[in-house]
A and B are shown apart, each in its own frame.
Chain A
Amino acid sequence: MNVSLYDKTFDGLLTAIFDAYSLKCFPDVLLGEGEPLPLFTQHSFTVVTSSKKADRVWKALEKKWSDPGCRMVRAVWLSGIENADMLLFRYMCKTLDRQESIETDFADPLVTDLIKLAGSVSREAEYVRQFVRFRKTRDGYYYAPVAPKYNVLPLTVAYFRSRFGDQLWVVFDTLRRYGYHYDLKEVAMFTFEEEIPGVFSGILQPEQMDNEEEMYQDFWRSYLKSLTIKARLNPKLQRQHMPVRFWKHLTEKQG
């Protein structure tokens, strides 16, 4: 079994492809540096990430892919699940090997697997756009905690940027401990070194919130309650559209 070790970055993955072609040795398993090797390793190779090699591979791939195709690959990479890199590796190699694009070959299990994973990542991003709830803080910021299954925050920033162009906002991923912040001019990524109460848990204390914040939360909850048609209750359908894992940060499901 051939094993390639790389640094778990996207450029690293592209370099691994470059090296595989130049050495004519294709790995069966991709591992991060320092991870224990599988039992039957015949040959292991450590990839040294090079942005030059990565660029060359990316340019070759980009030529064959449509825009949605590129976005799909980005989404699969952001999923961060265990074998996403191997899936991408095989998909990219196949793309390079074929004359025409394999993007629309939906009979190929490799393509359908990729589409399926990309779909579930974009769905998660859509959930974030749907169920993010901003809370106004004392210092005039609109703060929203999120905890999505995949690392989808980068896919949603454009939405927040376009929609809330005249307010200070912060979106924070409480699982991955980073977020984006907008200062009325541009969006910047940030991380916190130490724990800040309220920000990490996603639950703000009353003294951190704006004076009117709790009132509007009340308004929203009462509004939804009045809107429900009692003759058509269907909680199962509600859970189907609004997965329970988002409820902990949903204003209407608190209090």
Chain B
Amino acid sequence: MNEKVLEKLKILAESAKYDVSCASSGTTRKGKDGALGSTSGWGICHSFTEDGRCVSLLKIMLSNYCIYDCAYCVNRRSNDIRRATLSVAELVNLTIEFYRRNYIEGLFLSSGVLNNPDYTMERMMQVVKDLREVHRYNGYIHLKVIPGASQHLIDEAGLYADRMSVNIEIPTETNLKFLAPEKDHTSIFNPMKAIGQGIVRYREEKHKYRYVPRFVPAGQSTQMIVGATPESDRQILNLSSDLYNKSAMRRVYYSGYIPVNEYDKRLPALKQAPLVRENRLYQADWLMRFYQFNVNEIVDEKYPDLDLTIDPKLSWALRHPECFPVDINTADYAMLLRVPGIGVRSAKLIVMARRHGSLTAAAIKKIGVVMKKAQYFITCRELPVFTVHEVSPDYIRTVLTVYPVKQKVPDGQLSLPFVDDSVL
């Protein structure tokens, strides 16, 4: 361990940073006596970088050499960047030492494609195997699957990893072919299917036998790049919805496209990553996973894109004023969830609290309901004042739209035009 490893660590972290997934959640495994590591259900974030993203896992690439030339990727073979490959022993040692100091919750291993997918996958497996078998490491492992990897490798890897993921990157195949000619959807969806089947198989066998080795206990996830290609939010969310329903998918991540290869004319020229759109997509995703929304309720032919100025739940409520106002004291849980300003936690608390007596506006405020939004959509013991029917949906939209705060420049103050650093 020396300068060389430090150099490699820097290069490979740099290459891995655009992968957004960093969750260490989804599985609970108690520590074993005399062994290192445990996982906790919700996952733990151990640090936060200056961009405010959580660092839970040691997110790193085994190698950033790659035989592919995908337009959206920093590590494409035509890019002139520093390249490095960590040896299995170096990476295992780094993981263990970081883990012992409580820096990380586990390992997130990804890699560029060396020689061919199976060759790369085998090397990644070696790291995971060494951790589990030689070092008796019991912490979290997220293993990225290289598109095109063989079924038998995935079946084996699933026994060691907690979570596995194959990135879709571009939601439609034509656009994927356009930006990444060497990739296609078969090479992505086949491994994904293999993982999904493995999970289903495990669930079935668990009922039959006393001991079945766990297979990817934290499920699988995937990632899509948003804004690099012209797909609508409807296409993206429909794909996510299919994945959640069909492939035993736990999480879909959306990554606002950051222009990393500006010279490539196939990509749009953006001044900034589409952060607001990314945020709205996550909100829509949450609606599907926790709020019992169907994807067609969030986006449809008439509204193929999400409203950037208000959140998707409020947007749904304004399109459906006939569902409101909702009586807090009688509405069922599913309907409470649909009220803007009431989250999963608040809805659960309301359902429990109203068994003790009817709730007033002050009480639900104390429970944690955001009254600024909810007031237009609910009634409780008090009479409704301004529900969505008294004031129009348009009025509510204007009141609840958040505009970015502009700094006011006092009159008569001289302003010096500084050149923007990013232009230089």
Contact = CB atoms under 8 A, between A and B. Distances in A.
A226 B10 contact: yes
B367 A106 contact: yes
B35 interface: yes
A238 interface: yes
A7 interface: no
B301 interface: no
B44 interface: yes
B119 to A, nearest CB: 26
A238 B50 contact: yes
A107 B359 contact: yes
A227 interface: yes
Contacts of A134: 100-102
A142 B99 CA distance: 12
Interface stretch (A37-45, A75-83, A214-222): A214-222
Interface stretch (A8-16, A55-63, A124-132, A191-199): A124-132
Contact of B37 (A135, A136, A163, A241): A163
A22 interface: no
Interface residues of A, number: 57
Contacts of B136: 166
B45 A165 contact: no
Contacts of B49: 224, 227-229, 238
B355 to A, nearest CB: 7
Which of the four size classes fits the interface of chain B?
Answer: 35 or more
A20 B129 CA distance: 62
Given A133-B103, A134-B102, A224 B357 contact: no
Interface in B14-65: 14, 16-18, 30-38, 40, 44-55, 58-59
Interface in A113-152: 126, 129-136, 142, 144
Given A161-B31, A165-B33, A223-B10, A229 B51 contact: yes
Contacts of A159: 38, 40
A183 to B, nearest CB: 13
Given A106-B363, A222-B10, A129 B48 contact: no
B35 A165 contact: yes
A136 B258 CA distance: 39
B102 A107 contact: no
Interface string A165-196: 11100000000000000001000000000000
Nearest to B14: A226
Contact of B38 (A163, A167, A215): A163
A253 B262 CA distance: 33
Nearest to A226: B13
A161 B30 CA distance: 10
B343 to A, nearest CB: 14
Main secondary structure of the interface of A (DSSP, over half): helix
Contacts of A224: 47, 49, 55
A135 B357 contact: no
Interface string B344-387: 00000110110111011001001100000000000000000000
A241 B38 CA distance: 23
B72 to A, nearest CB: 14
B52 A231 contact: no
A109 B363 CA distance: 8
B51 A112 contact: no
B275 A232 contact: yes
B273 interface: yes
Nearest to B30: A162
A212 interface: yes
Contact of A165 (B11, B36, B97): B36
Residue with the greatest number of chain A CB neighbours at <10 A, chosen from B355, B357, B366: B366
A130 B40 CA distance: 12
Contacts of B245: none
Given A102-B356, A166-B36, A227-B16, 8 more contacts: A106-B363, A136-B100, A163-B139, A216-B98, A219-B5, A226-B9, A227-B17, A227-B55
Interface of B: 1, 5-6, 9-11, 13-14, 16-18, 30-38, 40, 44-55, 58-59, 94, 97-98, 100-103, 136, 139, 258, 272-273, 275, 349-350, 352-353, 355-357, 359-360, 363, 366-367
Interface of A: 102, 104-109, 112, 126, 129-136, 142, 144, 159, 161-167, 184, 212, 215-216, 218-220, 222-238, 240-242, 250-252
30 contacts: A104-B353, A105-B353, A107-B363, A107-B366, A130-B46, A131-B46, A133-B102, A133-B103, A134-B100, A136-B101, A142-B101, A159-B40, A162-B38, A164-B31, A164-B100, A165-B36, A166-B35, A166-B36, A212-B1, A215-B1, A216-B98, A223-B10, A226-B9, A228-B49, A229-B51, A229-B53, A232-B51, A232-B273, A232-B275, A234-B52
